[in-house]
Structure 1
Amino acid sequence: MPVFYSVLSLLPIVLLLLVSLLKGVKAGIYSGFAVTIALFFIWDSQLIAFPAALIAAFINTMTILMIVFGALLLHQNMEQVGFITQIKNSLTTTHTDKKFQFYFLAFFLTAFFESVSGFGTPGAIVPLLLISLGFSPITSIVVVLLIDGLFAITGAVGTPVIAGFEGTLDLSDDQIRKIYFYASCFMIVSGSIILFFIENILKKQGYKKGTHGWKLFFCIAIPYVCLSYFLKELTGVVASAIMGVFAYFFLFTNRKLAWKPWFPYVILIVLLLLPKIIPPLKSIVSFSLPFNNILESSVSTSFQPFRSPLFPFIIAAICAALLGKSSKTNLKPVFNKIATIFIILFPSLAITQLMLSSGSEMPSMVSSMSSLFTKTGAAYPILSPFIGVVGTFITGSTTVSNIIFGSVQYNAAENLSLSKEIILAMQLNGGSLGNAICLFNIIAAAAVAGVSKYVSILQKTILPIVIATLATSILGMILLAVL
């Protein structure tokens, strides 16, 4: 294959990155989408594959939006009836030590809301609570963003993997389980590095170093690693719940909490876990509606309506409304957010699907791009997680980073004869860490907290993320050498 085509295959991604930085994410994605369409028709592609690829991208988009709708609906109902405020206020009395309160709220609420809702939810909730404890706004935002960067690997009940990998790559269930396990191993290492930086940030605020942060981090990180292979997308939800229960019985100095606001989340966790422990339900959840050879092309996809946690979210949302004695739900914010996500998500998925479906006699754009990365040879694992970080930095989403770069990483691993599971786990971990430095998250969290010093926040998060990502690269190279 001519080198010219290999270089040309980078154009959609390069344009997406550059335009996103200069003009914004939406402009970047649509520019990349337009160029991908143009390249598709000069790439020796089947004409019928074009509409087929768009149909496949639309089906995958609907799958993701089902998850997003459920998560937003539950959060909207919880906020509308005052349960979010009650949860925050109740947790501030858990311990006499303010630093313990800080770490517990930062780890527990950030991990829990990221795992259940994702899409920037922790940044909109947790910093305000930390500020109310007396911590500076910038410190509160920085810490929440750094912690959010650890647990986005299972954000919104696994959306980054469901949409980013399962939606575009032909992976077995065992491969998905391994990706979660390896990513959680990377998380515990990168998390230790990030916690070291958080401790130094708090020290500069006049708080002495202690063990509260480490105790609470390992209370969630150890279950995360141990359960990741078995629970997959539910790992974050269950691990944060385990941390909360452990802290309540063994670390709290005050156990008088308001339990009523938590009940919808308890319902959600139970409903999400049921298919894992009841075999008949597991078979229902795994039901798949195949769309093979769409429009008689080589493009195929599938739709798994019960794989999505939409119905558990809806039931939990109804429970929240009933407990809060609310007969009406304000759906306007939910649909507004859905529309905003759709206009970015669909073209993102379309870019990947068109790149995968391009070519007939010659390799696809994804294969061509991967051939360039394989030229880095043994050094590629160092690059792998940084690709994920860059993807999230530009797009503001671990999911979109995985959608855009998952296929590239998969093909590069295949060409270099490396473990696809480890390389994809490095992409996932990098994409997760990128949440701490992406401008979208920084601006959104700062706006809620009334802060305008965006550069100060980025300056405090970028070094920990670079070092944590490098640690992921090193651990990944070790795993690739050993396994």
Structure 2
Amino acid sequence: MEVFFSVLSLIPIVLLLLVSLVKGVKVGIYSGFAVTIVLFFIWDSQLITFPAALIAAFINTISILMIVFGALLLHQNMEHVGFINQIKNSLTNTHKEKKFQFYFLAFFLTAFFESVSGFGTPGAIVPLLLISLGFSPITSIVVVLLIDGLFAITGAIGTPVIAGFESTLDLTDYQIRRIYIYASCFMVISGSIILFFIEQILNKQGYKKDFHGWKLFFCIAIPFVSLSFFLKELTGIVASALMGVFAYFFLFTNRKLAWKPWLPYMVLIIFLLLPKVVPPLKTIVSLSLPFDNILNSSVSAAFQPFRSPLFPFIFASICAALLGKSSKTNLKPVVKKIVTIFIILFPSLAITQLMLSSGSQMPSMISSMSTLFTKTGAAYPVLSPFIGVVGTFITGSTTVSNIIFSSVQYNAAENLSLSKEIVLAMQLNGASLGNAICLFNIIAAAAVAGVGKYVSILHKTILPILIATLVTSLLGMLLLVIF
């Protein structure tokens, strides 16, 4: 019976993915939502838990919509005062090849914003800049999501490891450092696979003879691997900054940039970084409005308004308005997009919450799924990074994927006498890669860019991620044999 329910727990995930690929993301989400509701009550769940789970999902939906609102507001103000066009002209002068401009923005800004803030920030900002250069919206979103899937291992200054591993497992500092170095090695290998696919996408659009992205990729990958053991959670910020400096001095053909249109983004970066380094602000950001035992159930949630990049986005938007000497802001199109996103985002988050909250006397769907994974025995290392991918696909977060599955991975490694650090690094790498196929990220990035073809994005990201994850499995198994 236990095995039966473990297999049954996979149905919402399999259905969500397959239907999304065949019939479209909206159909997939609503189908998955309907099936999850049925399974929720089969799972011996209490009736009061159902509305409580939906309330928790609503709270989480608001948190994501805050990011989208802020990103849309900033871009609208930047466009209104002419800064987007000025940035386009500024970038055009940095290098004669358009493909270089594309890769520089995609790698530098995606890695930097992910390392500083996480929380879906790169997908809300970078595609819009790439689109302004004349690249197609879908290509821009796909590339940013794929690159974001590489650098989320140090997202939000190490939150996936700090909250996902350090807070849940009894690990030493040396073990944490080893996890980072292994994960960074996995990142370089999986990044090479992903870059191959990105090259194919750009080649089909007529950029075969232009600049190749390998130069910029290794400009960031080499310092990332070299420094990860020593810098841990700061690795992504430092590596992306070093890549930016190197590109500026050695790859730019014209270093005379117009800095004024970039100032709102600099303000955004400052306000994103300040809470990480100023203790009083760190305390404010960590403030949480708890919703414990919603409707007297076992379901709880928390709303952290200051952790979201919404307020940095607002400050950057004000900066853009002041610099552009404009006092007009049209919120109507922004609000309209937010309502459209909510209709599809809420049920997708509800699936996750219902799976986590299911069961009263028996384990939840997520716990049952974990039990199934641990029964694979010697084949477990092959599944390890895929578990991380599934966790992020379900929850929309590298950190939450680590929180849910870190103990499963740790215990499996211990029972199978495998290196815990390598197995956890495989979990971290898989959870990071999962950002590229996570429906929450796809919906948010597409909505900000004004794209409704969610399934087109998923079609283009899923194969690179599956192959990169498989390669991580094989490399991980090799390392497990050696170490």
Q: Say if 2:147 is the partner of 1:150.
A: yes
> Is residue 430 from structure 1 mapped to residue 426 from structure 2 by the alignment?
no
The answer as to 2:274 corresponding to 1:274 is yes
Shift of 1:368: 1.7
Q: Partner amino acid for 1:151?
A: D
Q: Secondary structure at the match of 1:416?
A: helix
Q: CA deviation at 1:387?
A: 6.1
Q: Tell me how far apart the structure 1 counterparts of residues 406 and 258 of structure 2 sit (CA, whole Å).
A: 46
Q: Given the superposition, is the C-alpha separation of residues 125 and 315 from structure 1 closer, same or farther in structure 2, using an over 3 Å criterion?
A: closer
Residue 300 of structure 1: how far off its partner (Å): 2.0
Aligned amino acid, residue 130 of structure 2: V
* 1:17-32 → structure 2 map (5 Å cutoff): 17-32=17-32
Of 99-108 and 469-478, the range deviating more from structure 2: 99-108
Question: For structure 1, which segment, 326-335 or 221-230, has the greater mean C-alpha deviation from structure 2 after superposition?
Answer: 221-230
Within the candidate set 404, 412, 422, 1:416 is matched to 412
User: What code does the residue aligned with 1:126 have?
Assistant: L
Cα distance in 1, alignment partners of residues 279 and 113 from structure 2: 28
Q: How does 1:227-376 map to 2 (within 5 A)?
A: 240-376=240-376
SS of residue paired to 1:268:
helix
Question: Alignment RMSD, CA only?
Answer: 4.7
CA displacement 1:425-477 (0-9 Å, x = unmatched): 133233135489x99899999998xx9xx79x968x77655543322223444
TM superposition shift of 1:354: 1.5
SS of match in other structure, 1:361:
coil
Paired positions, count: 460
What is the DSSP-based 3-state SS (H/G/I as helix, E as strand, rest coil) of the residue aligned with 1:335?
helix
The 3 A distance-change label for structure 1 pair 476 and 319 is farther
Counterpart CA distance in 2 for 1:229 and 1:305 is 32
Could you list the per-position Cα deviations for residues 278-323 of structure 1 after superposition, in whole angstroms to 9, with x for gaps in the alignment?
1121122122232222222222222222222221111011111111
Residues 36, 351 of structure 1: 8 Å contact kept? yes
The answer as to 2:52 corresponding to 1:55 is no
- The alpha-carbon deviation at position 267 of structure 1 amounts to 0.7
Partner of 1:42: 42
1:233-256 deviation line (CA, Å, top 9, x unaligned): x97677545533432234323111
SS at match of 1:38: helix
Residue 26 and residue 171 in structure 1: after superposition, are their counterparts in 2 closer, same or farther (change >3 A)? farther
**Aligned counterpart, 1:134:** none
Deviations 1:74-104 (A, max 9, x none): 1222222221221122112113566655543
Call closer, same or farther: CA 1:76–1:228 in 2, change over 3 Å: farther
Q: Indicate if the aligned counterparts of 1:94 and 1:253 stay in contact, CA closer than 8 A.
A: yes
Percent of paired sites with the same residue: 65
Contact 2:109 2:122 in 1 (8 A): no
Letter of the 2:412 counterpart: L
**1:14 offset after TM fit, Å?**
2.7
What are the equivalent positions in structure 2 for 1:85-124 lying under 5 Å apart? 85-96=85-96, 100-101=100-101, 103-108=103-108, 111=111, 117-119=121-123, 122-124=126-128
1:59 counterpart SS class = helix
- The answer as to whether partners of 2:151 and 2:432 remain within 8 angstroms in 1 is no
1:182 shift after superposition: 6.3
Comparing 57-66 with 465-474, which one deviates more in the overlay? 465-474
Q: For residues 196 and 62 of structure 1, what CA distance do their matches in structure 2 show?
A: 36
Matched-pair contact (CA < 8 Å) for 1:348–1:400: no
Q: Please state whether the residue corresponding to 2:363 is helix, strand or coil.
A: coil
**Cα gap change, 1:266 to 1:185, in 2 (>3 Å):** farther
Q: Which stretch of the first structure deviates more once superposed, 308-317 or 10-19?
A: 10-19
Instruction: Confirm or deny: 8 A CA contact 2:68 2:124 kept in the other structure.
Output: no
CA contact (8 A) 2:141 2:445 kept: no
Task: Tell me how far 1:203 sits from its aligned partner.
Answer: 8.7
Take 1:462 and 1:350, find their aligned partners in 2: how far apart are those partners? Answer: 22
Contact 1:287 1:304 in 2 (8 A): yes
Does the 8 Å contact 2:349/2:395 carry over to 1? no
Q: What TM-score do the two structures reach when normalised by structure 1?
A: 0.76
Distance, in Å, in 2 between the alignment partners of 1:174 and 1:334 is 44
CA offset digits 1:142-165 (Å, max 9, x no partner)? 68734640224667x959x989x9
Change (3 A) 1:45 1:380: same
1:213 shift after superposition: 3.7
CA distance in 2, matches of 1:264, 1:386: 38
CA distance in 2, matches of 1:398, 1:327: 41
Maintained 8 Å contact 2:77/2:317: yes
Shift in alpha-carbon separation, 1:202–1:48, aligned structure 2, 3 A: closer
2:180 and 2:425 in contact (8 A); partners too: no
1:126 aligns with 2:130: yes
What does the per-residue CA deviation read over 1:50-69, in whole Å, with 9 as the maximum and x for residues that have no partner? 22222222222222222222
Partner amino acid, structure 2, of 1:428: A
- C-alpha contact 2:106 2:147 (8 A) present in aligned 1: no
SS of residue in 2 equivalent to 1:44:
coil
CA deviation profile, 1:184-218 (whole Å, cap 9, x unmatched): 553332223444566688899796798x7444223
Q: Any conservation in 1 of the 2:52–2:295 contact (CA below 8 Å)?
A: yes
Separation of aligned partners in 2, 1:231 and 1:330: 42
Tell me what 1:473 maps to. 473
**TM-score, scaled relative to structure 2:** 0.76
- Report if aligned partners of 2:194, 2:468 keep a CA contact under 8 Å in 1: yes
Cα distance between partner residues in 1 of 2:362 and 2:110: 46
| 3-state secondary structure, aligned to 2:31 | helix
**Deviation at 1:276?**
1.9
Unaligned runs of at least 5 residues, structure 1: 132-136
- Alpha-carbon distance in 2 for matches of 1:293, 1:239: 42
Unaligned runs of 5+ in 2: 415-419
Output aligned runs, 1:372-411, within 5 Å.
Answer: 372-386=372-386, 400=396, 409-410=405-406
> What CA deviation, in whole Å up to 9, does each residue of 1:352-411 have, x standing for no partner?
22222211221111122222222323323433445666899xxxx896486997787457
Change (3 A) 1:477 1:247: same
Determine the structure 1 residue equivalent to 2:417.
Answer: none
